[in-house]
Structures are given as structure tokens and as C-alpha cells.
Chain A
Amino acid sequence: MLEPMEPLDEDAKLMVRYRDGDADAFSTLYARHKGPLYRYLLRQVRNAGAASDLFQEVWSRLVATRSRYEARAKFATYLFHIAHNCTIDFFRRDLKMRRAARSDDAEHQAEPEVPEYQRPDGIAEFAEQQSALLAALGALPQEQREAFLLHEETGLTIEEIARVTQVGVETAKSRLRYAIRKLKKSLLPAEIPVRSYGRERFEQHAINGTARRLG
């Protein structure tokens, strides 16, 4: 899933060129980062519509703040720092809306606190196309999911992930470690109770799972 990255400061140079009025430099930057950014957002909020809105918001902020840009760090950390902030804002807005909706209707207080973007109708289409790994990724706590996505989609190091998410290095490391541990379990067929299934049923399950992933 990693897309080839240019040397550390290559993207930063492009951003500086765009800051100084070179529109083509932005096109190159956009082509390099649009995929990782879109997948980061899509797999964070798990809703295509919300991901598209956030995607546009991130680039809009980048464009709006271009005059203040200085190539001090890897461009990806700058871009994904904006994306992180946009995502956090999205989660806060969503939480506030849910609380406001519940306060209007006391009956809703008994319902489990499921975010709007994670309700079945919102993610139905998304979930249909998910593999076991992506399903496990979606089940991770948001911070752990983010750490994994930042590393997989952009190749950021632990230190860079910590910088993007504004936490300590050890915290970022811990989040990534837990994410990996849980996700690896989704890859292991041993998690399926083979004995209770029987050999044939287990094989059929594996075939179906593979077919789903390939389909």
C-alpha cells in the first residue's frame, strides 16, 4: 500500500514552489499523496461521504495556509498533521451531534454510544467490501488504527507518527504495537476453532474468505 516516496525534502520543495505560485508543483504533490491521504481518511471515519468531505477540507487547509509553509520537516508529516486535526475535529463534531440528539430524546440514552459514522446504515456498503484484515482494522481503537495507517500509507516512522498525532514517542509506539498485535490475529486461521468446525468446514471457510478478499 505504500506509494513510492521521494527523498525527504523533495515534496517539501514542491510545496515551496507551489507556495511561490507554481500550480504544477501542487499537481505533482497531489498525485503523490492523494491515495494515501484518501485511504487514511476513509479507513479512519469508515464512511465514503465523510472521507471525501475531509479529503477536500485537508487540501483546502493546505492551500489556505501555503503562505506560512516552511520546509522544516518531511512534507508528509505536515500534510497528515492537517489530516489528523481535521479527523479529530470530525470526531468531535460527530460526538457533539450525537449528544445533542440524545438530549432531545431521552429514549436514546439507553442506546449504546455508536458514532453516526459507524452505524450499520452508514458503513453497510463499506463493510461489504471489507476483508478480515480491514474489518479488524475498523475494530481497532481510533488512535491505534491511525498509527497503523500512518505507517502503512505514508511510511512515517514512530517519531513522525508521534509528531503528527501530537503525542510522545512512547505513546505512538505503544499504539502501533497494540494495533499490530490485534491485526496479526486477523491473519491467523488458527483463530478459527478448527476442531469444532471439522477439517472440511474449516477449509471451506478459508476458501470463502479468500474468495471474499479476491472478489
Chain B
Amino acid sequence: MKRLILEQSTRSGSLAVMEEGRSLLSRAWTEDRFHTQQMFGVLAEVLAVEVARLETLDSFGVGLGPGSYSGMRMALTAVRGLALPSEREVYGVSSAEALAWDEFQRTSADRVMVLGDARRERCWRVGYERGNGLPVRCTEWELVPQVDCFSGVPPGARWVSPDWERLAPQIGAAASRAAVDWADAVRIPTAEAVGGLIEARQRVGVASDPLEPLYLHPAVTVAPRY
């Protein structure tokens, strides 16, 4: 089973072609505008490489966020378009779950809290426990004020964030109070982590998450006009 995976929930987008959990090829880029330009350029270049020829791809994977709306939408639309004509599989997972999975592979942590910038002085957060090969979500998806972003969580969790650098000035003091070590907490979800998690989930028969970006915010916060 050969799969092409796109992950673009942060400005650091990435692409990987993986087979049986092994990465055959990967690319990374940094988007600065609208998330349309570089991803498709990289995609075109990669599809011309022998190991990534479209006819050889059985499946497509995508990180569903949370994160940049434009980035998630572009990546999801791209894989669905590539998969459509021959009805190939598209498998989506949360980028936060991919981060947690990656963290469980690399460390001995038993619990990982993922924290992200939800703008307007708020953070989103979600927690996972080390399960039997797969992360098990142990909290709700939450939107919390930045000042409280470490509150209400039992101590001992390993905190990671794709947005740590942007958040640090606002939540640095709160991190010190909660005794969270954020010197080594910056983690960017990658296509390889997304691909690894998909592989692990499929091994135990877990289906794709619904193929829509994880928005967390409602589409509209203003009341209807009448």
C-alpha cells in the first residue's frame, strides 16, 4: 500500500510518500500567503518522480488540523481531487493526534497535551494518553483563554504546541506557574507523522475521521440579522 500524504495545518507544510510505514520521499515548505502556491508546485514536482507516479498510489492521507483554515482546505481539496477519478481512498486524521502519536514514538511520555493558538487571546487544547499502539484522546477539544491554558489538567503531562513561538510571549508566565517546561515543546505536525498514524490506525481497523477540517470555531459568531 503506497500513500501520498499532505499536512498543511501550519505554515510549515509537508508532503510524504510512504509505503508500509516507511517514508519513500518527503518535502517541506513554508507558506506565506493563501496556501495555494507552494503546495501545488511541490505536488506537481513530486508526482513526476518515479516512486510517486500517480498510477502507483493506492491511497491519500491528510492532516485535518486544527490550524490554518486555508491550509487545511487546500490540502483536503488537493487529495480529494487526486483521489476522485479512480476513487482511491482518502484517509484523514487530526494533525494534533498525529503530533501526539509522534511524541509517544519518540519519548516515554504517557500523556501528551497539544496546545494551539486559537487567536483572540484563546488557545485550543486536547490531550492524549499512550494507548496500545495508538493515542487515546483523554480530554474534550477545548477553547480556553490563554491565561488559563494550563489550568484544569492533571500534572505530569507533556505539553507540545505547533504555535509555541507565537504563544510564548502570552503564555510564558502561565507555563512557568504550571511548571511546564517549554524549552523543548515546539512540535510541527508533519506529513510523515500523519502517515505513520494512519498506518497504525489502519493496522487495527480504525476508520478515517470525517473528511472535513477541524474548525473548533462555529462559522459565524454574529447573530442573524432578523
Does B associate with A? Answer: no
Binding site for A on B (CB under 8 A): none
Binding site for B on A (CB under 8 A): none
